[in-house]
């Protein structure tokens, strides 16, 4: 009679392996060599028996202690068999894969309706102040002729004769029980023998919907609003879907926006820049007066705090940033040319510090 293999060797374990390591090794090998997966393979069947025998000993603290001390002979005091701690293949399969093959194929009849999207284009000023817009769109609504059942008025759905109302068909393949969606009722468990002529058995019909949308002040281009429950009707009493409104804001001829801040470029004349002045400038709230200091250079940026756009979620408004552009005059008259010539003759280096600094850099470079 051939001697038995070492139980630790059978499971591929060290002698100090923990209980979790023993269990893990057993599951892996049992899955691999189970007869249902190796039908007609005598070697696999013998290995499976060997694996179960090894596990039945090593998973039991008393048996393992006796085996560690006396070997196979030390197990004589214990009853033969695979032991009370072993797992059947069904236990292993269920623990690893759950009920993936045994879940019911019957559909959840209460289902949410489809979400819808709608685009709204608004003016820049409307994005600052907020606005209400009426929109029109098509959506599925519950059929009034059949009250959403899909069956012709005066008739009812009948239980599917193939799956007997379960929505699934079970098949036994060896050790496995596999379920699939019923082909006749498509998992519903019921059949409509006489479909509603209005909705053709769908239970819903397409209708036009008018809705007033409140667009909040401060909304930006590309923002999306969610209107809960304004999507298509649900199935069999399920909730409606939602409506998502995508906002597109037209560009403005003067204002540019970045977040809650507004940017404006304002042209001024040579004389205004040189002498200074007070200047009326536009803001999203109306007009404001700013002071241009004498000697202001082109590109200077001034700030009007709190004159930007409102924040859609509340909080303080942004700022307005004004970029000053000194405009070079064109189409000069003879008199204007003469005055500029006289001004040029009177120009001193002290009057043009930027030019002087640049020329000094040029000289040092050359």
- Residue 31: partners with Cβ closer than 8 Å, 6 or more residues away: 37, 89, 92, 93, 96
Beta bridge partners of 118: 245
Ramachandran quadrant class, 189 (left: phi over 0; alpha: psi -120 to 50; beta: rest): left
Contact 172, 229 (CB under 8 A): no
Q: How far apart are CA 27 and CA 90, in angstroms?
A: 11
Element (H, E) at 357: helix 353-365
Q: Is the pLDDT of residue 173 over 80?
A: no
225-233: long-range pairs with CB below 8 Å, 24+: 230/116, 230/139, 231/113, 231/114, 231/115, 231/116, 231/139, 232/113, 232/114, 232/116, 232/139, 232/140, 232/141, 232/204, 233/113, 233/139, 233/140, 233/141, 233/142, 233/148, 233/204
Ranges for all domains in the chain classified under CATH 1.10.287.110: 7-97
Looking at domain 256-328, its CATH superfamily turns out to be Urease metallochaperone UreE, N-terminal domain (2.60.260.20)
Residues 331-354 have a mean pLDDT of 81
Contact 124, 251 (CB under 8 A): yes
Angle between helix 61-70 and 42-58 (nearest 10): 100
- Residue 354: partners with Cβ closer than 8 Å, 6 or more residues away: 297
Pairing verdict, β 116-122 and 243-249: parallel
Helix (H, G, I), strand (E, B) or coil at 229: coil
Closest CA to 55 of 78, 101, 23: 23
Q: How far apart are CA 139 and CA 208, in angstroms?
A: 7
Looking at residue 205, what is its pLDDT? 94
Contact 194, 185 (CB under 8 A): no
User: In the structure, what pLDDT confidence band is assigned to residue 68 with cuts at 50, 70 and 90?
Assistant: confident
Of 20-29, 320-329, 351-360, the poorest mean pLDDT is in 351-360
Contact 172, 128 (CB under 8 A): no
Ranges for all domains in the chain classified under CATH 2.60.260.20: 256-328
Looking at residue 136, what is its pLDDT? 96
- As given in the structure block, the two tokens for residue 12 are 């591929």
Q: Is the pLDDT of residue 180 over 60?
A: yes
pLDDT digits (tens, 9 = 90+) for 78-88: 644 444 444 44
Looking at residue 196, what is its pLDDT? 94
pLDDT digits (tens, 9 = 90+) for 104-153: 444 556 789 999 999 999 999 999 999 999 999 999 999 999 998 899 99
The CATH class of the 7-97 domain is mainly alpha
Looking at residue 361, what is its pLDDT? 65
Higher pLDDT, 148 or 173: 148
pTM, to two decimals: 0.60
Q: How far apart are CA 271 and CA 296, in angstroms?
A: 10
pLDDT digits (tens, 9 = 90+) for 233-273: 998 788 999 999 999 999 999 999 999 999 999 999 989 99
Q: How far apart are CA 318 and CA 314, in angstroms?
A: 11
């Amino acid at each position: 009679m051939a001697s038995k293999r070492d139980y630790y060797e059978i499971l591929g374990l060290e002698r100090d392996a923990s209980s979790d390591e023993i269990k893990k090794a057993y599951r892996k090998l049992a899955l691999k060599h189970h007869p249902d997966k190796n039908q007609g393979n005598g070697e696999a069947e013998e290995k499976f028996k060997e694996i179960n025998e090894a596990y039945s000993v090593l998973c039991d603290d008393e048996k393992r202690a006796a085996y560690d001390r006396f070997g196979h002979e030390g197990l004589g005091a214990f009853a033969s068999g695979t032991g009370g701690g072993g797992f059947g293949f069904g236990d292993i399969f269920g623990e690893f894969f759950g009920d993936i093959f045994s879940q019911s194929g019957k559909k959840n009849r209460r289902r949410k309706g489809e979400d819808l999207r709608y685009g709204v284009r608004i003016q820049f000023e409307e994005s600052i102040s907020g606005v209400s817009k009426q929109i029109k769109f098509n959506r599925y609504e519950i059929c009034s002729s059949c009250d959403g059942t899909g069956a012709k008025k005066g008739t009812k759905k009948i239980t599917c004769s193939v799956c007997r109302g379960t929505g699934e068909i079970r098949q036994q393949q060896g050790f496995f029980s596999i379920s699939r969606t019923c082909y006749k009722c498509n998992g519903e468990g019921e059949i409509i023998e006489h479909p509603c002529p209005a909705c053709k058995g769908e239970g819903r019909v397409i209708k036009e919907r008018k809705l007033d949308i409140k667009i909040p002040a401060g909304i930006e281009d590309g923002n999306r609003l969610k209107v809960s429950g304004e999507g298509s009707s649900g199935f069999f009493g399920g909730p409606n879907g939602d409506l998502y409104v995508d906002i597109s804001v037209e560009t403005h001829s003067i204002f540019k926006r970045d977040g809650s801040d507004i940017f404006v470029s304002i042209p001024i004349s040579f004389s205004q820049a040189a002498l200074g002045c007070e200047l009326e400038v536009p803001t999203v709230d109306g007009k404001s007066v700013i002071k241009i200091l004498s000697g202001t250079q082109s590109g200077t940026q001034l700030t009007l705090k709190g004159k930007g756009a409102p924040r859609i979620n509340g909080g303080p408004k942004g700022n307005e940033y004004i970029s000053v552009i000194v405009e070079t005059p064109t189409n000069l008259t003879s008199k204007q040319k003469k005055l500029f010539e006289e001004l040029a003759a009177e120009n001193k280096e002290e009057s043009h510090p930027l030019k002087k600094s640049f020329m000094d850099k040029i000289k040092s470079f050359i």
